[in-house]
Amino acid sequence: MTGAEMIVQVLVDEGVDTVFGYSGGAILPIYDAVFLHNEASGGSMPLIVPANEQGAGFMAAGYARASGRVGVALVTSGPGATNTVTPVRDSMADSVPIVVICGQVPTSAIGTDAFQEAPVPSIMGAVAKHVFLVTDPTRLEATVRTAFEIARTGRPGPVVLDIPKDVQNWRGTFNGSGRLPVPGYRQRMHRIGANHLGESACDRLLAALAAAERPLIYAGGGVINGEASEALRALVRELGIPVVTTLMGIGAVDTQDTLSMRMLGMHGAAFANYAVEDCDLLIAIGARFDDRVAGHPARFAGNAKFIAHFDIDASEINKVKPVDWSHVGLLADALTTVLERARSRGFSKDWQSWRRHCEELRTKHAMNYDRSSELIQPHYVIEEINRLTRGEAVICTGVGQHQMWAAQYFDFRSPRLWLTSGSMGTMGFGLPAAIGAQFAEPGRLVIDLDGDASIRMNIGELETVTTYDLPIKVVVLNNCGDGMVKQWQKLFHKGRLSASDKSLHKKDFVKAALADGFGYAARLDRKADAPRVIGEFIAFRGPAFLEVMIDPDAGVYPMVGPGQPYDEMITGDHIPSRKRVDITPPGESEMF
C-alpha cells in the first residue's frame, strides 16, 4: 500500500465513519485514498468539507463530544494546519478525543520555508496531548494506531499527526497490527486502570459520610468523559446525596432529578452556590476546582469539614484546593466500588433534613427573569424551546451570554447532549460542533443556540449545513453586540462599551441563511409570536434558521465576580439573594 492508503485503512480499523477536512496540495494523496476507499465501499467513510479548517476541527470535536468516539480532522499543511490550532487547544482544555491529520511538505524540504510549510510540532506541541511528525514511513501505520490510543485513553485529548507528502506517497507492506513503543505512557495508563479503590479507602470515605449532615457531590466533565454517568446516578439515587455540576458536567445527572441542584459557579444557579456554601462534606468527581467554580479557593465550600476528590489525572489532586481524601483511577469503577462497599456494610444515613433544605433553596432562589417585559427575554425563548424538546435534544452553543442562559434554562436528561466550549470559551464553536454532532447522532434533534457575535466567527458553516442537508436548527439570540463583554463593561467599566456594541452593523442574518439555502429562515421580534414561530421552527423537517431580537440589556444572573467567593454573588433583580451585595470590580490581575 501507499502511506496514504495505510492511513485510511487504519481509520477504518479504528471504526472511523466520518472525516471532516479541507483539501490542499500536501494532503492530496490521503484525500485520493479516501475517495478510492469510499468508491469501493459505497461511501462508508464520508469526508465532510467545511468552510475552513477551524470548522473541521470543531466538527471533529462536536462528533467526539456527542458520541464519545474519536473525531477525525484531515487538513493540509501550513495554513491548513495552523487553522486547527484553536480547536486542538479547545479539545485539550475540555479533554476531548480528536485526531488531526495534517499534510506536511516533503521531508527533504522541512525547515527550508517551503511553500505552505509550518512548524506543526513546535506549534501544536504546546496545545495538544501529543504530536507526531512521521519521517520514517515504516513506522507510519503504527504511529496512526498509537495516535488513536493516546487520544482516547486516560484523560482524553487531541493528538496531531504531521505527515510529509513523500511519506504519504511511499509504498510498503501493511501489517494490519502494531503500535509504537510508548512504555512511559502505557505504564501510566496501566497504573490508573489497576488502581482499584481498596476497602480501607472506601471505609474512610464512608466514615466521613456517616459523620456528615450536609453532604454534596460536585460533578465535572470527567464524569461524562469517563463514561461514569450511570455509576454516578446509581450512587446518588441509593445514598440520596444532592449533586451540583460544572458547566462541562451538565447531563451527568438528569437535570430534572429531585437531587439535581444544577450548575454551580460564576453563572451557576443561586441555589446551587448556596448549597456549596452550606454543605459540610464535598465530594468532587471528575472536576478540577477551576477559576469559574472556585474563584476564591480558600473560601470555596468554606463550611466543608471534609473534601474528597475522585479524578483520572493525578495532577488535579490538591492543585487548587487541598483535599482530605483522594483517589486517582477510572471513575465508573471507583464509584461502583464505593456503592458496593456501602451496600455490603449496610451503610445508611438519614439526610432528609438536608434534602429538604436543598429543596427550599431551589424554591426560594429559583432561576428567574423579567417575565412581564414587553421585550423578548432570551430566557423565555429557551424555555419555549425546552418545552418542545423536553431535555432530549443535543444543544450546542457558541460562547457568551447565550451560552450561560442555555446552561441555566435547558434540561438535559442524558450525558453528551450539552456541547459547549468550556475552558477555552471559544466563540464560533457552536455551529461547526452542531454539524459534527449531527453526523454522530443522525437520529437526534440538534440545535445550535448561538449569539449574533459568536456565530459570525464561523458563519461560513451555514452553507455546510445545507450542502449536506442536515436538519440542524440554528437559533441566533441577537442583542446587537458582544453581550457578555457589554455586561462586564456596564458592571465594571462605568458603561463604556468599547468595541462591543454592534447595533450599527448591517448584517441581515435571515438573508444570509436564505442565501446559504435554508428552507426555513425567519426573524422573531414580537413576544406574542414566540410560541407559534418557535413551534414552526422546531417542527420544520430540514435545516432551519431563527433569528430572535432579544432585549439588548438582558443580563446573565446570578454572577460571581472573578476571584470572589459565593457570598458575594450578584443575583440581579429577579432572583432573591441571601444578603445585599455591593458590586465591586475584580482586582487588576483577575481574569475575564
Q: Are the CB atoms for 67 and 414 separated by under 8 Å?
A: no
Residues 248-302 have pLDDT tens digits of 999 999 999 999 999 999 999 999 999 999 999 999 999 999 999 999 999 999 9
Q: What does the pLDDT read at residue 65?
A: 98
Q: What does the pLDDT read at residue 591?
A: 55
Residue 585 pLDDT more than 80? no
Per CATH, the number for 378-549 is: 3.40.50.970
Residue 13 pLDDT more than 80? yes
Q: What does the pLDDT read at residue 582?
A: 82
**Closest among 554, 545, 550, 530 to 448, alpha carbons compared:** 545
* Biggest distance spanned by C-alpha atoms of the chain: 73
Q: What does the pLDDT read at residue 584?
A: 75
For domain 3-191, say whether CATH 3.20.20.70 is its number: no
The architecture of the domain spanning 195-364 is 3-Layer(aba) Sandwich (3.40)
* Of 453-457, 527-531, 561-565, minimum mean pLDDT range: 561-565
Q: Are the CB atoms for 283 and 551 separated by under 8 Å?
A: no
> In b/e form, how buried is each residue of 259-276, taking b as 16+ CB within 10 angstroms?
bbbbbbbbbbbbbbbbbb
pLDDT band at 329 (very low <50, low <70, confident <90, very high): very high
> Which grid coordinates belong to 9?
485503512
Residues 203-231 have pLDDT tens digits of 999 999 999 999 999 999 999 999 999 99
Please compute the mean of the pLDDT values over residues 396-417 and round it to a whole number: 98
Residues 551-584 have pLDDT tens digits of 999 999 999 999 999 999 999 999 999 988 887 7
In terms of Cβ atoms closer than 10 Å to its own Cβ (0-12, 13-18, 19+), residue 506 is: exposed
Average pLDDT, the chain: 97
Q: What does the pLDDT read at residue 510?
A: 98
Q: What does the pLDDT read at residue 586?
A: 72
> Which grid coordinates belong to 362?
431551589
Please compute the mean of the pLDDT values over residues 18-24 and round it to a whole number: 98
Indicate where the chain has its CATH 3.40.50.970 domain(s). Answer: 3-191, 378-549
Q: What does the pLDDT read at residue 417?
A: 98
Residue 589 pLDDT more than 70? no
Q: What does the pLDDT read at residue 588?
A: 60
Q: What does the pLDDT read at residue 590?
A: 64
Indicate where the chain has its CATH 3.40.50.1220 domain(s). Answer: 195-364
Q: Coil, strand or helix: which one is 475?
A: strand
Residues 468-494 have pLDDT tens digits of 999 999 999 999 999 999 999 999 899
Q: What does the pLDDT read at residue 344?
A: 97
Q: Which value, to the nearest 10 degrees, does the dihedral of the CA atoms of residues 446, 287, 187, 139 take?
A: 30
Q: What CA–CA distance (Å, rounded) separates 137 from 172?
A: 8
Active-site residues, by number, are: 53, 115-116, 165, 484
Q: What does the pLDDT read at residue 179?
A: 98
Q: Are the CB atoms for 279 and 259 separated by under 8 Å?
A: no
Q: Is the pTM of this model over 0.95?
A: yes
Integer angstrom CA distances of residue 122 from 115, 131, 211: 18, 9, 52
Residue 150 pLDDT more than 60? yes
Q: What does the pLDDT read at residue 205?
A: 98
